[in-house]
Amino acid sequence: MNATVKYVDGLRFVAEGATGHSVVMDGDPEFGGEDSAPRPTEFVLMGLGGCTAMDVISILRKKRQEISGFEIEVRGKRADTHPKKFTDINIHYTVRGRNVSEDAVKKAVTLSMERYCSVKATLEGVAKITYSYEVIQE
């Protein structure tokens, strides 16, 4: 796996992954950016959310759960001093659907967090990662 990051201007960069897809990153105006795109640290949280979301939805599909909506909120707390790494990250899953089994959701979330999500495994030991979930029947 590899990625390239190319300078555009100010503090704006374009990152491209091996798949050929790209994203733009930018910095805070206070430091010379234009606030035109997410910060690299936001991408860390987005990557974690995306990784576990794919796991959970895949597992729930295999369990034939009728999911009509799914959302993850990822909140990160960073240290006050440089390098201002993440110290605490909380992931909250909201699953909506008809006759959704709470046990199935719990199992899917637990499997993602303890076995499958490579981004979570990468961040483990760097930040304390906690998670919760709720099931909303429709």
pLDDT tens digits, residue range 50-97? 999 999 999 999 999 999 999 999 999 999 999 999 999 999 999 999
pLDDT value of residue 135: 98
Which part of the chain is CATH 3.30.300.20?
40-137
pLDDT value of residue 110: 98
3-state secondary structure of 67: strand
pLDDT tens digits, residue range 87-134? 999 999 999 999 999 999 999 999 999 999 999 999 999 999 999 999
Regarding pTM above 0.75, the answer is: yes
- The candidate with the shortest Cα–Cα distance to 33, out of 11, 64, 5, 57, is 11
What's the average model confidence in pLDDT over 18-43? 97
2.40.50, 2.20.25, 1.20.1460, 3.40.50: CATH of 1-38 = 2.20.25
pLDDT tens digits, residue range 50-62? 999 999 999 999 9
- State which fold the 40-137 domain adopts: GMP Synthetase; Chain A, domain 3 (3.30.300)
Nearest-angstrom CA–CA distance, 33 and 31: 6
| % of the chain beyond a pLDDT of 70 | 100
Which part of the chain is CATH 2.20.25?
1-38
- The two beta strands, 3-9 and 12-17, are antiparallel
